[in-house]
Structure 1
Amino acid sequence: MISRLLRHTVGKRGLTMSADGWAEIADVLKVLDLDRTALDVAVEHNDKQRLQVDGERIRACQGHSRDGMPVTREALESSWERVYPDHLLWHGTNREALSAIQRDGLLPGRRTHVHLAPEKDSRVGRRSAVDVLLAVDPANLAVYRAPNGVLLTREVPADAIVRVDPDRGGGVG
C-alpha cells in the first residue's frame, strides 16, 4: 500500500513529492489513514526493502512509474550511487517478450528505469514469471545502484544483451 502510493499513485492521491521521490511522512500517513507505528512496521518488513526513511521523509528507492508521478529520471539518478560494473549484469524476463527485446533492447516501459541485478541468482527485483535470464554487458551503460541494492539504467540496447540463459529457478527479474 505504501510502496504502491510512493511508486505509482502519488499524483492520483494528491500527495506532494519531490523530483527524487521524497514525501513528508505526515502527508503519507494522512493520505493512507495510517499511524506512524504501522508505517514503521511496513518499512521494516517490506520484502524488497523498497522503502527508505530519512527523518520525517519517506520514499520508494526505485521502481517509479513515469506517468502521473512527479519524479524525474535525472533527480532519481542524482540520489542513487553511480556504479561501474566490470562483469555481466542480469535481467529476467519471459519467453514471450524475448523477440521484442532482441530487436529493441530492454526498455523501461511505464517505469523510469530498467532493473538489473549483479548475479544470476539475485533475489533483488525478482519477478514471478521469469523464463530466461539476459546477460547484459554494462560497458557502455550508465548504471546506478538504489539504496536497496537494485541496479538501474535508462535502457539496454539490444547489442548490449550478450547471452540468453534459461532460468533454472531463483533468477533475477
Structure 2
Amino acid sequence: MSDREANSLGRILALVLRHAPEKFGVEMDLNGWVNSRELSEAIQNQRRHFHWLRGWHFEAIANSDDKGRYQVEGEMIRATYGHSIELELDLPTDDIPEALYWPCDPESVPTHMEYGITAGDRKHVHLSKTIANAMEAGHVRISRPAILEVDTTRAVADGFTIWRAGKTVFLCEEMPSEYLYHVEEDDPSIQEMISMWEEE
C-alpha cells in the first residue's frame, strides 16, 4: 500500500468509524466495533480503486499508527477516539498519567480556567499524554495553542473517569476548572515546539 493509498484509506476509516458508518452501509455495535471484512467490502463497493483491500490491511494501519487511533481485535475494528456519534466505548481506565494536557486558543484560557473544559462537538474531551502531543493536536487549528495541564490524580480520586484511548490520547466527559493549570508559554516543551514550527 502506497503512502497516498494509506492516507486516503485513513480518511475513509475516520469517516466511517468516528462519524458516519451509514455512509458506507456498515453495522456498528454500541462500542464502536465493525466487522473488518464487511468494512473492506463496503469500501471496495464505493471506492473501486480499493478493489485490492482486505481486512488485514486495517490491522497493518492500526499497528503502524503512532497515535493508536484504531484498535483491531480478531475480525473487528474500531476507532479509539474522535467520535461525533454516540457510543459506549469500553476503554481501559488504568495506567492514567498523573498529568495530562489540553490545547486551546490562548484567548479562551480565562474562560476554561473559570468554567472548565467540555467536549464541544465531539462526544469526549481529548487529553494528550505530553505537552508536545497537546501542542501538535492544537496546532491543527490554532497557530500557537495555549496548554492547560490537568491534575488527573486529583480528578480520578474525586470520581472523574478518564479513559486510555490511544497511545497518546485520553478521554473524559468533562474536566472542571479546579483540576486545571495554565502551562506558561516559557515552558521548555512549548518553546521547543514553537521553535520547530518557526523553522518549517
Sort the TM-score into its range (normalised by shorter chain): 0.7 to 0.9
Name the SS of the counterpart of 1:142 in structure 2.
coil
1:137 to 2:155 alignment: no
Greater helix fraction, Structure 1 or Structure 2 = 2
Kindly tell me: are residues 62 and 168 of structure 1, through their superposed partners in 2, closer, same or farther at Cα, counting changes over 3 Å? same
The amino acid that maps onto 1:8 is H
Measured in 1, the distance between the counterparts of 2:136 and 2:39 equals 24
8 A Cα contact 1:51 1:60, kept in partner: yes
Q: Which runs of 5+ in 1 are unaligned?
A: none
Name the SS of the counterpart of 1:64 in structure 2.
coil
Measured in 2, the distance between the counterparts of 1:154 and 1:131 equals 21
Measured in 1, the distance between the counterparts of 2:136 and 2:27 equals 27
For these two proteins, the number of residue pairs brought into alignment is 163
Q: Aligned match of 2:174 in 141, 155, 160?
A: 155
- The residue aligned with 1:48 is 67
CA shift for structure 1 position 23: 0.2
How high is the TM-score relative to the length of structure 1?
0.78
Kindly tell me: are residues 126 and 4 of structure 1, through their superposed partners in 2, closer, same or farther at Cα, counting changes over 3 Å? same
Measured in 1, the distance between the counterparts of 2:173 and 2:134 equals 21
The amino acid that maps onto 1:90 is Y
The amino acid that maps onto 2:174 is E
8 A Cα contact 1:61 1:148, kept in partner: no
Measured in 2, the distance between the counterparts of 1:159 and 1:152 equals 18
Q: Aligned match of 2:98 in 87, 106, 118?
A: 87
Measured in 1, the distance between the counterparts of 2:66 and 2:60 equals 12
Counting only pairs closer than 5 Å after superposition, residues 11-90 of structure 1 correspond to structure 2 as 11-33=22-44, 34=50, 35-36=53-54, 38-65=57-84, 69=85, 71-72=86-87, 75-76=88-89, 79-83=90-94, 85=96, 87-90=98-101
Name the SS of the counterpart of 2:68 in structure 1.
coil
CA shift for structure 1 position 124: 9.6
The structure, 1 or 2, with the larger RCO (C-alpha pairs under 8 Å, 6+ apart) is 1
Kindly tell me: are residues 86 and 48 of structure 1, through their superposed partners in 2, closer, same or farther at Cα, counting changes over 3 Å? closer
Kindly tell me: are residues 124 and 57 of structure 1, through their superposed partners in 2, closer, same or farther at Cα, counting changes over 3 Å? farther
Identity %: 26
CA shift for structure 1 position 51: 1.3
Name the SS of the counterpart of 1:6 in structure 2.
helix
Measured in 2, the distance between the counterparts of 1:17 and 1:131 equals 35
Name the SS of the counterpart of 1:81 in structure 2.
coil
When Rg is computed on C-alpha atoms for both structures, the one with the higher figure is 2
Kindly tell me: are residues 28 and 124 of structure 1, through their superposed partners in 2, closer, same or farther at Cα, counting changes over 3 Å? farther
- The residue aligned with 1:102 is 113
CA shift for structure 1 position 90: 1.2
8 A Cα contact 1:136 1:163, kept in partner: no
Q: Which runs of 5+ in 2 are unaligned?
A: 1-11, 45-49, 195-200
Deviations 1:116-142 (A, max 9, x none): 223323479733235211011221231
How high is the TM-score relative to the length of structure 2?
0.69
